[in-house]
């Protein structure tokens, strides 16, 4: 069953509060390149493509995947982790956070 934009925002606010990330906001867009979601923790936003609202399961996985990135950023002192001068996105730390959130730690989530 498709998730409405209103339902998505309500669920996101509750989830952000649960994980002490009430500063985050969810922005739903028509298209984000080839991504279903994008974490912009440095500006306290998660962007999500409308395609991610096709089902609650897909929406929840994308939301929590992006939230995991934001928690990673927050737990790292408000900066993105780097290795050899490059951002680290989907490593063991990220996977551990995904497990905390109860979501699979996939690099790409099929639509």
pLDDT category of residue 33 using cuts at 50, 70 and 90 = low
Examine residue 106 and state whether it is found in any structural domain, yes or no. no
Examine residue 40 and state whether it is found in any structural domain, yes or no. yes
Give me the mean pLDDT over the 29-40 stretch. 83
pLDDT category of residue 32 using cuts at 50, 70 and 90 = low
Examine residue 108 and state whether it is found in any structural domain, yes or no. no
Examine residue 74 and state whether it is found in any structural domain, yes or no. yes
Residues 65-79: tens digit of each pLDDT:
999 999 999 999 999
Examine residue 110 and state whether it is found in any structural domain, yes or no. no
**Residues 70, 62 contacting (CB under 8 angstroms):** no
Examine residue 37 and state whether it is found in any structural domain, yes or no. yes
Domain count, the chain: 1
Examine residue 45 and state whether it is found in any structural domain, yes or no. yes
Examine residue 94 and state whether it is found in any structural domain, yes or no. yes
**Residues 37, 62 contacting (CB under 8 angstroms):** yes
Bridge pairing between strands 37-40 and 82-83:
unpaired
For residue 75, give the CATH number of its domain: 3.30.2010.10
Short-list 79, 84, 83, 106, CA closest to 94 = 106
Residue 66, domain extent: 5-101
State whether the Cα torsion 102-25-77-94 is positive or negative: positive
């Amino acid at each position: 069953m498709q998730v409405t934009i209103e339902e998505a925002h309500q669920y996101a606010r509750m989830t952000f509060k649960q994980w002490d990330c009430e500063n985050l906001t969810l922005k739903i867009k028509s298209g984000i390149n080839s991504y279903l979601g994008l974490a912009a923790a440095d500006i306290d936003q998660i962007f999500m493509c409308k395609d991610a609202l096709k089902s609650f399961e897909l929406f929840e996985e994308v939301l929590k995947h992006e939230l995991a990135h934001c928690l990673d950023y927050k737990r790292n002192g408000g900066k993105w982790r780097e290795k050899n001068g490059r951002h680290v996105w989907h490593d063991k730390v990220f996977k551990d956070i995904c497990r905390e959130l109860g979501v699979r730690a996939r690099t790409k989530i099929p639509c």
